[in-house]
Amino acid sequence: MAILVRSALSAVVALAVTALMPATAAPAAPPPARTVLAPVALGDVVPAPVSVTPSAATFTLTSSTVIFADPSLAGSAQAGGYLAGALRPATGFSLPVFPPPYGLATAAGIFLLHGSQTGEAYQLDVAAQTVVITAGTSAGLFAGIQTLRQLLPAAIDSPTRQALTWTIPGGRITDAPRFAYRGAMLDVARHFFTVAQVERYIDQIARYKVNYLHLHLADDQGWRIEITSWPRLATYGGSTAVGGDSGGYYTQAQYGEIVRYAQARSVTVVPEIDLPGHTNAALASYPELNCDGVAPPLYTGIGVGFSSLCVSKPITYQFVEDVIRELAAITPGPYLHIGGDEAHSTPESDYLQFLHAVLPLVGKYGKTADGWHDYLKAAPAAGAVGEYWGFGGPDASVAAAAQAGSRIVMAPANRAYLDMKYDANCPLGLSWAGYTEVRDAYEWDPATYVGGVPASAVSGVEAPLWSETIRTSADIEYMAFPRLPAIAELGWSAPSVLGWPSFQRRLALQGPRWRAQGVNFYPSPQVPWPA
Ligand code: TNX
C-alpha cells in the first residue's frame, strides 16, 4: 500500500509537471551581462554514467528555479537542501526547496522524485523546463545530484557569484554503480587533520560518488580518537605526529560531527584502529600494555613494523574490547577496521592467537570486521572484508579467504595508493610501490587484479592516502587529484564505458572545476587540461 501511494504521488507529480509545461513558456531572458557558454556535453562526467542519450533541449537555471523534493522518499528534502546549497554561491539564486505538489504552479524546476530504482541507481532527465532526478533511495538521488553538478559550467563551483547563463544539457542519463564499495582512506595518524580538513575532503570525494571514508585513526605516531576508558591514548598518544609536527585528536563528539557530515553526503565512515602492530602510540601511553611493563617513548619517524601489543597479557584484550566497544557505539556504519598489516614484530602464532581473540569482539559489538588483507590468514567469519594492498597477481591466502566468503576491497599499492609519487620530481609522497601516474591509477581491473579472487568476491575499490609526507589540505589534494577520480570511476562505472581516451578527456574538464573550488591538483602531463 505504502509503495502504491508513493508511486502514485510520483506519477501525479510527473503528470502535473508535464501538464504545466506548455503554460510556462521560456524562462525569463537572462540579463545581457551574463556570459553564455556552450553547454557541457551530456555524459562529460566523472565517473562515466552507464547510459547517456542527449537531446537538443537545454535547461537554464534562473532566479525563479525551485527544487521539488518528493516527500515519499526519505531524505529527499535533505538532498534538495544539499543541491540548493551547492548551487547558491555561484548563481546567487535562492533555489527554495518544496515538497510537491505544493508550489507546482511555479513550474520550471528541479524535481527529486521517488522511483522504482534500487540502491544508488538513478535516472536524470533534462528537458527545457524540468530537470528530474528519479531514484529509489536518497543515496540514488545523491548520485544523480553529483552528476547534475558536473553538467553545469565549471564556474558553478566558484564560491562567489558569477555572471553566467547556467545551462544544463538536455537528454537522459541512466546510471548505477558497478561496485557497492567505493572508498577513500585518509591517514590522520601520521599527520593529524582537523574536523574542518576532513569535512573538506569528504565534500571533494563525494563529488565522485565515493561512498566510504576510511579513517586510519591510530598508528605508531599518533592515536587520534578519544577513548573515555583509556584517556591517555588521545591526550598523550595523540600529542605528536611525524617529524615532531603538532598532533591532535578527535573527541567523540567531534568524531560524531564527521560521521554526520559524511552521512549527509551519502558517505559512510569506516574507523580503523590498527592492531596488533602499528601501536607505539598506545604502548607509549600505557606501560601495562607492554610485555615488559615499560612504556616506549613517543615515535615521530616513518618506520613500520617495530611495535606490537603484548599478546600474552589479559589486559591487552580488556584494552582492545574497550576500544572496540566505544568505537562501535559512535559508528553507525557497518564496518570496523582492525588493521592487521605489517605486524613484523608479532610472531605468526601470536598474530593468529590475537586475531582469533579479537575478531569475535567486533561481532559482539554489532560490526562487520574489516582489515588489511594480511589479517585474512586468521580466517575471519564469512562476510568480513579484506582490503588488498599488494601489487596484483596471484595471492593464495587472499584467494582462499575470498572463496571462504570474505569480501575483498581492492586497494593495490601500485595503482590505488594516493601517497605514491606521480614521478621522480614529485615533491610529496613515497615511492616504495613505484611511481603512479594517472594512467597507472586508471588502467587496471578490480575484478581480475588478484589471481584466484573471483569477481563476485570483490566488493569494490579504495584509494588510501597515507600521510607520512602529507601535512596540509593542499598536500592532500595534490596527491588525490587527479588520481582519486580514476579509482572512483573504476569503482562506479560499467566496464563497457571505461577507457583511457574517454577518461582523459572527461578528467581534463575537472581541472577548471578544481580551480573554481580552490582545490589543489597535480597538473599531470598525461591530461589535456583546458587552457
Ligand atoms: C604501508 S600498506 C602501510 C602504511 C604506510 C604506507 C606508506 C599498509 C597496509 N601499511 O603503514 O603508511 O605503506 O605508503
Confidence of residue 108 (pLDDT cuts 50, 70, 90): confident
What are the tens digits of pLDDT across the range 70-88?
A: 999 999 999 999 999 999 9
430 lines ligand 1 (CB under 6 A): yes
Of 280, 341, 370, 435, the one to substitute when testing ligand 1's pocket (max ligand atoms within 8 A of C-beta) is 341
- How much is the pLDDT for 198? 99
Give percent of the chain with pLDDT exceeding 90: 90
Q: How far is residue 206's CA from residue 49's CA, in Å, rounded to a whole number?
A: 16
Do 181 and 459 form a contact (C-beta atoms < 8 A)? yes
Ligand 1 closest atom vs CA 433 = 14
Residue 159: how many CB atoms within 10 A of its CB? 10
pLDDT of residue 100: 65
Is-contact 387 373, C-beta < 8 A?
yes
Task: Report which of 515, 531, 470 is spatially closest to residue 193, judged by C-alpha positions.
Answer: 470
| Ligand 1 and 372: CB distance under 6 A | yes
Q: Which three cell numbers stand for residue 258?
A: 564527521
Cα Rg of the chain (Å, integer): 24
User: In the block, which residue shows the cell 557541457?
Assistant: 40
Which protein residue has the closest C-alpha to ligand 1 atom 9?
341
What confidence tier does 29 reach under pLDDT thresholds 50, 70, 90? low
Say if ligand 1 is within 6 A of residue 374 CB.
no
Q: Is 419 in the pocket of ligand 1 (CB under 6 A)?
A: yes
Segment 263-292 mean pLDDT: 98
Contact 136, 121 (CB under 8 A): yes
Of 11-20, 62-71, 187-196, where does mean pLDDT reach its minimum? 11-20
- Nearest atom, ligand 1, residue 389 CA: 2
Predicted pLDDT at 14: 41
Going by pLDDT thresholds of 50, 70 and 90, the confidence category of residue 26 is low
Residue whose C-alpha cell reads 596540509 in the numeric block: 472
Q: Which three cell numbers, joined as nine digits, stand for 141?
A: 538521488
Residue 182: other Cβ atoms inside 10 A: 28
Name the 3-class secondary structure at 303. Answer: coil
Which residue has the least CA distance to atom 7 on ligand 1?
466
- Segment 225-233 shows an average pLDDT of 98
**Residue 34: in which H helix or E strand, if any?**
none
Beta-bridged to residue 300, according to DSSP, are none
Length of the chain: 531
Q: Where are the beta strands (DSSP E) in 33-80?
A: 51-61, 66-69
- The answer on pLDDT for 305 being more than 90 is yes
The residues spanned by each domain of the chain are: 11-21+36-175, 181-517
- Predicted confidence at residue 311, as pLDDT, reads 97
- Average pLDDT of the residues of the chain: 93
Q: Rounded to whole angstroms, how far apart are CA atoms 257 and 239? A: 21
Mean pLDDT of 390-411: 97
CB 176 within 8 A of CB 119: yes
Residue of 188, 219, 342 best suited for mutating to test ligand 1, as the one with most atoms within 8 Å of CB? 342
Grid cell for residue 520: 589543489
What distance in Å separates the CA atoms of residue 167 and residue 41, rounded to the nearest whole number?
11
H helix or E strand, kind and range, residue 118 = none
**Residue-level pLDDT at 531:** 83
Q: Provide the pLDDT for residue 107.
A: 63
What pTM value is reported for the model?
0.94
Residue 16: per-residue pLDDT:
37
CATH of domain 11-21+36-175: 3.30.379.10
Cell of 294: 615499560
pLDDT (mean) for 132-145: 98
Q: How far is the CA of 294 from the centre of ligand 1 (A)?
A: 27
Q: Which atom of ligand 1 is least distant from the CA of 420? A: 14
**Enzyme catalytic residues:** 342
Whether the pLDDT of residue 33 is over 80: the answer is: no
Q: How does pLDDT run across 465-503, given as a tens digit for each residue?
A: 999 999 999 999 999 999 999 999 999 999 999 999 999
Nearest protein CA to atom 4 of ligand 1, as residue: 466
Identify residue 125 by its one-letter amino acid code.
D
Tell me: pLDDT of 446 over 60: yes
Res 11: pLDDT:
38
Nearest CA to ligand 1 atom 5: 466
Flag whether pLDDT at 347 surpasses 60.
yes
Question: Has residue 6 got a pLDDT over 70?
Answer: no
Do β-strands 130-135 and 109-114 pair in parallel, antiparallel, or remain unpaired? parallel
Residue 455 has pLDDT above 70, yes or no: yes
List the one residue out of 365, 400, 363, 406 whose CA is nearest residue 382. Answer: 406
Nearest CA to ligand 1 atom 10: 341
User: Position 193: which residue type?
Assistant: F
Interatomic CA distance for residues 203 and 157, integer angstroms: 12
Closest-lying ligand 1 atom to the alpha carbon of residue 432 = 14
Could you tell me the CA-to-CA distances from 339 to 59, 216, 336, 368 in Å, in that order?
A: 48, 9, 9, 13
Q: Lowest mean pLDDT: which of 96-110, 194-208, 271-285, 509-523?
A: 96-110
Cβ–ligand 1 contact at 466 (below 6 Å)? yes
Please name which of 173, 212, 267 lies closest in space to residue 494, comparing C-alpha atoms: 173
What is the helix (H) or strand (E) element at residue 175, kind and residue range?
Answer: strand 166-175
Mean pLDDT of 249-253: 99
Q: For ligand 1, what atom is nearest to the CA of residue 372?
A: 9
Task: Using most ligand atoms within 8 A of CB, pick from 185, 304, 470 the residue to mutate for ligand 1.
Answer: 304
Distance from the CA of 23 to the center of ligand 1, in angstroms? 61
Q: Is 184 helix (H, G, I), strand (E, B) or coil?
A: strand
Cβ of 272 closer than 6 Å to ligand 1, yes or no, is no
Residue 508 C-alpha to ligand 1 middle, in angstroms?
30
In whole angstroms, give the CA distance from residue 528 to residue 521: 14
**Sorting pLDDT into bands at 50, 70 and 90, what band is 252?**
very high
Ligand 1 atom at minimum distance from 190 CA: 12
Q: Does residue 44 have its Cβ closer than 6 Å to ligand 1?
A: no
Cα 179 to chain centroid, rounded: 13
- pLDDT value of position 86: 98
* 136: pLDDT strictly greater than 60: yes
pLDDT for 2 equals: 31
Ligand 1 pocket, mutate which of 466, 468, 483 (most atoms under 8 A from CB): 466
Task: Report the separation in Å between the CA atom of 3 and the middle of ligand 1, taken as the mean of its atom positions.
Answer: 48
Counting from 1 in the atom list of ligand 1, the atom nearest the Cα of 187 is 12
Does 514 sit in the ligand 1 pocket, CB within 6 Å?
no
Residues 416 and 410: beta-carbon distance below 8 Å: yes
At the topology level of CATH, where does 181-517 sit? TIM Barrel (3.20.20)
Cα Dmax for the chain = 82
Instruction: Reply yes or no on whether the pLDDT at 293 is more than 60.
Output: yes
Q: Can you give the pLDDT at residue 38?
A: 85
Answer whether 20 contacts ligand 1 (Cβ < 6 A).
no
**Any bridge partners for residue 462, and if so which?**
183
Distance (angstroms) between ligand 1 centre and the Cα of 179 equals 24
